[in-house]
Structure 1
Amino acid sequence: MKNIRWMLLLLVSIFFIPTYNQYVSAENQSTVQANTVVNVRDNPGLDQNVIGKMEIGKAYPLIKEEEGWLEIQITSSLTGWVAGYLVTKNGENVEEKPIEEEKITSLSNKATIIENGLRLRKGPGTNYQVITSLGKGIEVTILSTNGEWYQIKTDLGSGWVHNDYLLLKDPQTQADTGEPEKPKQQIATVTEDQINLRSNPSTSAEIIGKISIGTVITIIEEESNWAKIQYSGNIGWVHKDLLKNSDLESRKGKKTDKTIKLVYDRTNIRSDATVNSKVLLVANNGETFQAVEIIDDWYKIKLSDGEFGYIAEWIVEETDPLDQQIASATNSADLKGKTIVIDPGHGGKDSGTIGVIGTLEKDLNLRTAQLLASKLKTAGAKVILTRSNDIFIPLQNRVDISHFYHADAFISLHYDSINDSSVNGVTSYYYTANQKKLATSLHKSIIEATDRKDRGVRQNTFVVLKENRQAASLLELGYLSNPAEEQTLLSSKYQETITTAIYHGLENYFSY
């Protein structure tokens, strides 16, 4: 009998101890939250599959951490990974992986960015937060290195980029740092539409993107009938039969008589159609030039001294006949004197969605907003931007700006994203009945002016709409999650078309 009692006590203690430990574990378990929509991936890494999104403000149990990535419990049977810099743990920011200072080598050399959409990060690795994205052709100063990552200084601040996307100006630099000299890179043009960009040189390899006909790419390596290329921050393989070599010396351009306008200060005008050629002069935002020829993605322009120079297509915008119509409408009773608040979504630490080829939504939102603001000011409207540079503005502050200026119209500009990369189109949102009229007018004008899919005018409880007493609309102007659409959205042609359409939508709204 005594032995039986001891056995019962032992069994009770065995069952009791795990129950207690489980209670303590659950009570003290860390949680992860997000104050913006964050992608949940099946494995740690920005190149991994998106399996869902975190709900804003919801606490998710933390399972483990791994090099800046957090594994969280999504449902009782599903886990996923989120980037640490996008979320908070127990209400506090997740500490970033410290930079290993002993690996840093100091430098002071010049380089040029060779791809659009290059992400400038806070540290040497993809686990560090994205500060902003940089355009092709921008000259930078290299401050230090850490393995394959370079710390650079730009007009937008300092940060880290991978050395694959920099062209060092002095060949001696590579010898001094122990880096092997990179082979001369070839330029080629895509000859078919929507060709496959693959992870390896094989037709059975994973398709990691699509490239449109006429796109100019850089060949960095060749293997049999395949070419390894750099394109908009991505590296992959395409079949060489789908490319046409573009020897700069033998290329013949297409004649044009367009007038182009610079969109950045300190823009380099060069002696040839390449980022490596000599800089003839430096010009600023707003200056115009007469283009006489187009060579791939470069304009040949006439200079004031009668000589010719070259300027990259991605840092200018063409003047459009529609702009002339807008310029002549300064006495329009429809827009003159109207107060219009333009709200470029996201900004600063909140990048918004990130496109397939690396576009940061916050940057594209601002680009669209500034172009639209210019058109509206020309028409005599009073225009207020909730942000005019890359800073974070809380949502309620954006609404407060709308109220403070008694906005006649408040327009929040965004670009969308979804797990299905085939989805495309434009959606316009409102919350109250007096906002629906504005959203409908803008949406109708946009759909008529573009070939985007009509995804409708919808009601939504976005803070900038729900808390806004003024006529307001939030526009999703396309999908950055669709590779083909992302390229279209980035083009100067689309930006001109979409902002002119919004302009006319406002004009129609005020004329009702």
Structure 2
Amino acid sequence: MHKKFSLLLLSIILFLGAFLPEGKSSAASGSVSIAVDSLNVRTGPGLSYPLLKQVNRGETFPIVKEQGEWIQIQVSFAKTGWVVNWLVTKDNEQTAKAVSSSGQSAATANSSQLRIRTGPGTSFRVIGSLTEGQAVKVIDQNENWYKISSMFGEGWVAKEFIDLKTAGQQENGSTTNAGSKTSTRAGADTGNVIGDTLNVRQSPDAASPVIGKLTKGTSVAILSQQNKWVQVSYLNVKGWVSAEFINLDSEDSKDTVKSKQTTGMSGFVTADSLSVRSEATLNSSVIGTVTRGQRFTIVEENNNWAKIDLKSGSFGWVSGFYLDKSGTKTSSDAGQTVKESAITILQNGTNIRKSPSVQSDVVVRANEGETFSVNSVQNDWYEIKLKDGSTAYVAGWVVSSNGSAPQIEKAGAEGYLKNKTIVLDPGHGGGDNGTTGANGTLEKDLTLRTARLLYDKLKAAGANVYLTRNNDSFISLQSRVGMAHSYNADAFVSLHYDSDLDRSVRGMTGYYYHVYQRNLADTLYNAAVGQAKLRNRGVRIGDYHVIRENNQKAVLMELGYLSNPEEEMTLNSSTYQENAASGLYEGLARYFKAN
């Protein structure tokens, strides 16, 4: 009898065991949002289980429990299914953003001529500068940079030159430009900016220093008028703008720019490469590119923009300064005359050249803040009038313009990164600390610091960036590779820090596994080691899962030795972290430029 009972009990245990999930599982709460366009929901926690249904991006479902890399979700009232955890976003996570932001905070610049850049790094283009005491809004941040909103629009500045205000200071008012108080008189008139970008100057003079910029549609308070200039106040800063670009009719502020329809008119492109945009503004998206000599029908003109007929049923906007409407193609040295325009030098030692070419002789060097009147625009160069009355040329992408002359932009590294899909993999995490430094630094913490800085740079350049983890959580090697495959990554970069029993060993090493990964590894490594200034240990084959099992262009970077006490101190510094991230950023840009 006892034997029969034992056999019966064993049978029950085996029967139940067949239906229990393998591995550890835990009850969970909350919900998930689907992070990809289409995701398979399976009947069990594994790819071998049958497909239950497909769900779409943005749909949310309650969490039933978690098991390894899988999450069980409540699909309907009486039905549950399983999804992989790296393709969903938990309601208490921020997987789309690498850094946290405390919301908008008031702040002031604590240095004169603080440069505002398009991204968090000195390689990004300068879009303006702040004077000491000038008020801004901080809208985001990372370890070394603040993203701000100012009269120049949104941009990034070095953290050390910005002072955040306390809650009491924000309630009691903000400091104004250069420490002086500004006020708008009661009942002041208002106006709206009708130019795409309007310079705000210190005094009513085209040669006066630029203290800010206003974008199209911005509403400002009108303080006074003087000849062709209007004194305005905006964000506690007051200055002078050209009256030509301010609409004083507040009742019709939404329709400030008049357009004129043209028929039977066409033009030839005079620039080597000219961006076609979705709207008549530099802030709109680029939908195509046209080249010198191409001819298009002009269907509409809007201030200094022309709407062209790209092909039947497809239209776009280009800068009218680069269209010749005379009916004949212009030669390569023909320029477009502009009226009442000036440029301002953005950096000390800017070359002013004899002709519009970087190979031309330098006739003089100008310093930051100097202004010159513009005679004409020639390709990407301004023909300017020097103080002795002679003319010379300056590259349009190193100055800011005011008046009817267009603002010329030249793509830097960001031009090669836009729309590229890049997966950043901060090594280790959660219970996996990675190596531990001589003085206690955890590798998992340092890889995440580097990844966050690099994430912000790539994001500012217009890349589609994803992190395999953005907090101290464990992600399996299979999941990391799976994310590269899921997003069809153009590049997968795994970040690590090294260790050795010999504490004198130091330097940076790059790894690849497949031949098709070597070009990325070489390019990325050379840029990173050059910027970080560590010992060059070279690029070699590495038998690591995240690159060996990866079908995408993938590399693994060992960014220094934590086992070396001196190098550990260097690796922990904000300066090194910034340089390492900048080097990796430049390396990715060089790779995509060449491929």
TM-score grouping bracket, smaller chain normalisation: 0.3 to 0.5
- Provide TM-score, normalisation by structure 2: 0.33
| Higher share in helix | 1
Larger Rg: 2
